[in-house]
A and B are shown apart, each in its own frame.
Chain A
Amino acid sequence: MTVAIVLLALLGSAWLLAVIEGWMATGRLSPAAPLFRGLAHLGRESIVPRSPDRVFFEAAPVLLLVVAVLGMAVLPLAPDLIIADLGTGALFVNAALAYVLVAVIMAGWGPDGAYGMIGGWRFLGQLIAYSMLIVMPITAVAMRAESLVNTAIVGSQAGLWNIVYQPLGFVLFYIAAMALAFRAPFDLPSAEGELGGGVDAEYTGVRLAVLRLARLTLVVTLASATTVFYLGGWHGPLLPPWAWSLIKTLAVAVSMLLVGHYLPRIREADLMRWCWVLGIPLALLNIIIVGLLILVVP
């Protein structure tokens, strides 16, 4: 039952994001558009490029979808609405999302296309930039909760949300999450107009439909992770816990789309430089500040 509810919430959120994405792109609010676009993909020919690495080509979109769902499986919507409340939940989110890289590299290499391959390897460079900014803020979150269990992390924010307790960590995690989801302005692997779609370029038909769904699901999973780690998860007045989780998750996800809509794409070298020269020292500073707060404030 819990599995069905969480998957339904994930699918519903992905649909809502697709509607908003379409609204921002076309200026028309059409709730049925994602459904029709999905059906259209299913109806189109699913072209296989010449001499592909068939295993990678077929597996990549599915792997991306699976890791996004696996990440969501350990994030709680409410105290008892979680598929698996692992003892190492916060680490597991990381472990699942590390395979986004594997999926993107496979999607880049598989079709035997120049644009796709450049896109795939670009994401490897992007990982070198963002990965520390995912792990180190989560470390500080786990320090406060004194646990890697995600429900305990939400529980530790009952009095004060982490966005107030460690705002620096929130900013770093939010930026890194957008880079992980390769949304604009960090959409270097799929750069439209520059790489002609990059890793998406060679995918058509049903495979493209799965890839699109996977990318939207990934945004929802990362927004949910942001909610659990920084926005107090299910905590909130009046409404039931699951409603608060959903509202916060959707708000974060929509904010990611909006930020991406108004910012120009960043250069790979700039992203790397900013993440390493500024991001990692700030993340270390965040860990030190949180450590001091834990020691000083009872």
Chain B
Amino acid sequence: MYAQAFFVAVFGLAAIGFGVVVFRTSSMMRSALALLFSMTAVGCLFLAMQTEFLGVLQIMMMATEMSIMAIFMVMFMMDPGGLGGMDMSHQKRFSIGAGVSAAVVAIAVALLSDWGPAAEQVVDAEAQTRALGMELLGRSMMIFETAGITILTAMIAATAVAIPVQNLSSKDDKEASE
């Protein structure tokens, strides 16, 4: 129990620490990978709380997602290496206010909520995975399928928007030149 609490605390602090690094660095790569390791620490937090499937899934998903985010950040920022001394923060007063009040609300929710009794024992990881599978393909199936289809639609729409309409534009150019 004490070991578990210790590791939950360590990974929790690691998640917060890496989260702070995200905003403290000017390098887009460092920022993206700090966010990745913050998320990985959250995954380890799940592992420490004996929710193995969620933990491993979080650790796996974030590696690819954050790496892909990194290349977009490098592509779109003028100073991706952070060597030019550019200040990348803005609306400082508002951001600090929003951040502090959000933190206060989160801490208040954590402290004031009635979380019920802590689970003394949990079923083993294999049984958990099975129960999760039954949940995802049973009661929660519609929710997840709807979310999946929505994300797929958004991806297709985004790709469609990103592809230039070559025929039309060339026709327009021709008309314009005539």
Contacts and interface: CB of A to CB of B under 8 A. Distances in A.
Given A53-B27, A101-B67, A121-B71, A94 B60 contact: yes
A287 B53 CA distance: 21
B53 to A, nearest CB: 5
Contacts of B173: none
User: Is the contact region of chain A dominated by helix, strand, or loop, or is it mixed?
Assistant: helix
B178 interface: no
Contact of A105 (B27, B67, B81, B83): B67
B56 A92 contact: yes
Contact of B129 (A53, A55, A88, A98): A88
B68 interface: yes
A276 interface: no
Contacts of A109: 29
Given A121-B71, A147-B126, A149-B126, A91 B36 contact: no
A88 B125 contact: yes
A148 interface: yes
Contacts of A147: 126
A5 interface: no
Nearest to B28: A109
A105 B70 CA distance: 10
Given A124-B67, A148-B129, A102 B33 contact: yes
A102 B125 contact: no
B126 A53 contact: no
B33 A106 contact: yes
Interface string B20-47: 0000000101100100100000000000
B60 A98 contact: yes
Interface string B121-152: 00011101100000000000000000000000
Nearest to A104: B67
Interface in B44-72: 52-53, 56-57, 59-60, 63-64, 67-68, 70-71
Contacts of B125: 86-88
B42 to A, nearest CB: 13
A102 B52 CA distance: 22
A87 B30 contact: no
Interface string B67-80: 11011000000000
A87 B124 contact: yes
B129 A87 contact: yes
A218 to B, nearest CB: 15
A124 B71 contact: yes
A99 interface: yes
B52 A101 contact: no
Contacts of A98: 59-60, 63-64
B63 A102 contact: yes
Contact of B64 (A53, A55, A127): A127
B64 to A, nearest CB: 6
Given A53-B29, A86-B125, A105-B70, A99 B56 contact: no
A115 to B, nearest CB: 16
Interface centre among B33, B63, B64, B83 (most CB of A within 10 A): B63
Contacts of B70: 105
B29 A56 contact: yes
Contacts of B63: 95, 98-99, 101-102
Considering the complex of A and B, which 4 residue pairs feature the smallest CB-CB distances, nearest first? A87-B125, A95-B60, A98-B63, A87-B126
16 contacts: A56-B29, A86-B56, A87-B52, A88-B52, A88-B53, A88-B125, A92-B56, A99-B63, A101-B64, A105-B29, A112-B81, A121-B71, A127-B64, A127-B67, A131-B64, A149-B126
Given A95-B60, A101-B64, A121-B71, 17 more contacts: A53-B29, A53-B81, A55-B30, A87-B53, A87-B128, A88-B129, A91-B56, A95-B56, A95-B59, A102-B33, A102-B63, A105-B29, A105-B70, A112-B81, A124-B67, A127-B67, A148-B129
Interface of B: 27, 29-30, 33, 36, 52-53, 56-57, 59-60, 63-64, 67-68, 70-71, 81, 83, 124-126, 128-129
